[in-house]
Structure 1
């Protein structure tokens, strides 16, 4: 057998190259760029990126704000006619999963690594909020296998019931993990490091999800409120900071404000303007802007054809108010008013003790105060027969007033309108769904291509992958 002779020069060159590689690796280390992820940076970036998605073009301006008839399109009206762009649907899914679920799963893991339970709790709470938004929008979604792409490249879809129940357990554990007196966190642009605020946010989400379950699974809904009562009903109060992101100037501006820097396809919907006018609601001057050519608030009918919408004119119709379109307009995620509406409905359903009518009136007052309206204006408003609480049709009373109060939270309003069936909206004027309205977003095309088997199983269980297919919580 012949021996293989390797020249000494080749051996020397190999060793020399290996040494050079190690030297290059040492030389190219940037001392100013940490290799370990910093939890404060991860938290601040995660909050900004996901609140941007929540309030951005894809999840709100081109979809839910139009479906719930807060906004209308005056140019390029296809989305207002229920013809969403595939990129809108894909972007919402991609951003929430790739940025949101991934980032906050990592933050929760860092909480364990750094022995800081508060970072872990905040990561779980934010991740739970995103999962709640996703299942509200799409229905069945990847949940139990999501956030671990190394192990589950094609995650299964869990039923909405499983998702909600899982989130309730995660939020309860996160709330109980929080330690307000030690283990401070940094990078918190949502609640300024107030861990009691995070606990109240977690409990608010638990109460929100409990009502999502109330029609389908009343026993679980009642058990959630019983647990919250046993824990002291630790909810947002009038003196607490609401869960919101205060935007800054460019490049950290409100995404609606950023949109307005280059275009303005939108106006306030005629539906909400008419309702505010009918109730003499002082929020009209906040929700809507006066047109340049007239001294009256004029909304636009949803779903007009392109030529009909364009003939209305930008200067003769009302844009959405500056409280929502300004560069530094805050983005609300959970408010004191919403918490009170939840408690009012829970009292009406006998899920908690309390006076539903009183809580309903407090919720309206809190919504007005959110925009600086107090005093006799609110008293006069509440005294109107059209506003008075009707226990025999509480879904109408709460549904209509909650719809008005949630004007700054289009995605949550879209979910609550489907659950309560009030206000009773009319489909877009030239809508493309044969007289029906959207009840969900369709799954993105990438799921059909890359996760086909699990996608098909979800569709077989939930129903056709259409805008008009009801999600599980939407019982009526």
Structure 2
């Protein structure tokens, strides 16, 4: 695995260069015949996995945007982001990296492999690449709404791809994932190197594909309940079934392969844990609190900062009085989580609460809470958290059928830390409060600099470059979704 990532590190620059070149119609010009123009499939896969994870867990994208919108963290000195002012550079980097590097790698992988489909393991490689692409395309659709999809990689010279309807993208991705489950063959090899997530284990990729189908289906449960029910009931028995199945990208303790946001080189002090998170976890004596947050320097207690509190406010104490995120989520070897067993169980708990035939809601809920706490206990070697600790916690936060949206929503939100994007998507989709109905989230404490910002953004606005480089497609997309604003709800946001 180490050699795979190190080989990838050098290849990324080449791959990014090739991707950008293709987008600028230079595919057949400025080509140096002494340098390679194709890369082996295993390196393309590693590149796609790492570049995506780097975006999902970077301080600029995850910290300033997603962890902020999920209200897990709040900015310390740079507080505009916690007041919903979107940094266009960070936004553009997210969009461009996922398209020009991650998805471009996977598209190249499949196109190269299509020339040798009769060779052993190639069909499995393509299926794994397509599952990975589906994961990334859903992230883009959930972040922006309508995005380039069918025309994104139609040919190397198309720099103005049309945007597809997000709900239609979902339907296509569901078909794609279903097809790959049928194609994956455990009797054949796949990737013997390059797959950092599952090391080429075909059966694990089948489980992940089924689990991604559950994620997609539950997200559309309020918009298309019949389709959601069909997909979930058809796939839930084949999804991730323990923490051993968790899909994650294991970073290494050495540059450039460390977890993107780590304090191996310098202390990371850009974010404080929000009072929203800390105060709720304290109120229920959550055993994960001491993992999610570290004690303040001033008084050695865990204290959250009010969300969106401006540094210029004289009532805000010095930073030493507030808690930074815990050491584990700033560790160089923190894994990038793609999907976890606990998320699957919370999906099934919600599905059962909605009347789907997937078992007992309370059992799935308890499994989800237990899996999340057990995961962090194992990751941090925390011997203070025992099975009795977990049971005592479950007694404090029991499943309540009449209040399922708030009960499941709150615990699922806690379990998604530090998966900022997924937590943000679930916050806006489920629109949950604390169990019992008391508000959990607050508007930014200090006045937002973006006066048009809603209580929480439902989406990111399209990168500004799209307005100039792909104007016709951009204009059509804006017309289709209604407005290019952060307050414009996505198709699945019904609350």
TM-score over 0.5 for the pair: yes
**Which residue of structure 2 lines up, in the alignment, with residue 378 of structure 1?**
390
Whether 1:140 and 2:146 are equivalent positions in the alignment is yes
Whether 1:270 and 2:282 are equivalent positions in the alignment is no
Deviation of 1:467 after TM superposition, in Å, equals 1.1
Whole-Å Cα distance in 2 between the matches of residues 263 and 380 of structure 1? 34
Q: Give 3-state SS (helix, strand or coil) of 1:301's partner.
A: coil
* Higher-Rg member (1/2): 1
Q: Give 3-state SS (helix, strand or coil) of 1:240's partner.
A: helix
Whether 1:440 and 2:448 are equivalent positions in the alignment is no
Shift in alpha-carbon separation, 1:379–1:360, aligned structure 2, 3 A: same
Q: What does 1:122-271 correspond to in 2, within 5 Å?
A: 122-150=128-156, 152-185=158-191, 186-228=193-235, 233-238=237-242, 240-248=244-252, 249-257=254-262, 261=266, 264-271=269-276
Whether 1:364 and 2:376 are equivalent positions in the alignment is no
**Which residue of structure 1 lines up, in the alignment, with residue 11 of structure 2?**
none
Whole-Å Cα distance in 2 between the matches of residues 44 and 274 of structure 1? 39
Whole-Å Cα distance in 1 between the matches of residues 323 and 105 of structure 2? 39
Q: Is the 8 A contact 1:58 1:91 kept in 2?
A: no
RMSD of aligned residue pairs (Cα, Å):
1.9
Shift in alpha-carbon separation, 1:110–1:227, aligned structure 2, 3 A: farther
Within the candidate set 392, 399, 416, 1:406 is matched to 416
- More displaced 10-residue stretch of structure 1: 337-346 or 289-298: 289-298
Whole-Å Cα distance in 1 between the matches of residues 347 and 213 of structure 2? 11
Q: Is the 8 A contact 1:74 1:310 kept in 2?
A: no
Whether 1:474 and 2:493 are equivalent positions in the alignment is yes
**Which residue of structure 2 lines up, in the alignment, with residue 459 of structure 1?**
478
Deviation of 1:313 after TM superposition, in Å, equals 2.4
Deviation of 1:43 after TM superposition, in Å, equals 1.1
Whole-Å Cα distance in 2 between the matches of residues 260 and 420 of structure 1? 38
Q: Could you report, residue by residue, the CA deviation over 1:165-220 in whole angstroms, capped at 9, with x for unpaired residues?
A: 11101111112111122223020111122111111111111011011111111111
Shift in alpha-carbon separation, 1:295–1:92, aligned structure 2, 3 A: same
Q: Is the 8 A contact 1:235 1:339 kept in 2?
A: yes
Whole-Å Cα distance in 2 between the matches of residues 235 and 437 of structure 1? 31
Deviation of 1:353 after TM superposition, in Å, equals 3.1
TM-score, scaled to structure 1: 0.89
Q: Give 3-state SS (helix, strand or coil) of 2:272's partner.
A: strand
Shift in alpha-carbon separation, 1:69–1:161, aligned structure 2, 3 A: same
**Which residue of structure 1 lines up, in the alignment, with residue 21 of structure 2?**
none
Aligned residues: 442
Whether 1:427 and 2:443 are equivalent positions in the alignment is yes
TM-score, scaled to structure 2: 0.85
**Which residue of structure 2 lines up, in the alignment, with residue 339 of structure 1?**
344
Whole-Å Cα distance in 2 between the matches of residues 328 and 309 of structure 1? 37
Structure 2 residues not aligned, in runs of 5+: 1-31, 378-384, 434-439
Within the candidate set 300, 308, 329, 2:305 is matched to 300
Q: Could you report, residue by residue, the CA deviation over 1:298-343 in whole angstroms, capped at 9, with x for unpaired residues?
A: 1111111222389532322111011111111111110010011111
**Which residue of structure 2 lines up, in the alignment, with residue 42 of structure 1?**
44
Whole-Å Cα distance in 2 between the matches of residues 148 and 100 of structure 1? 16
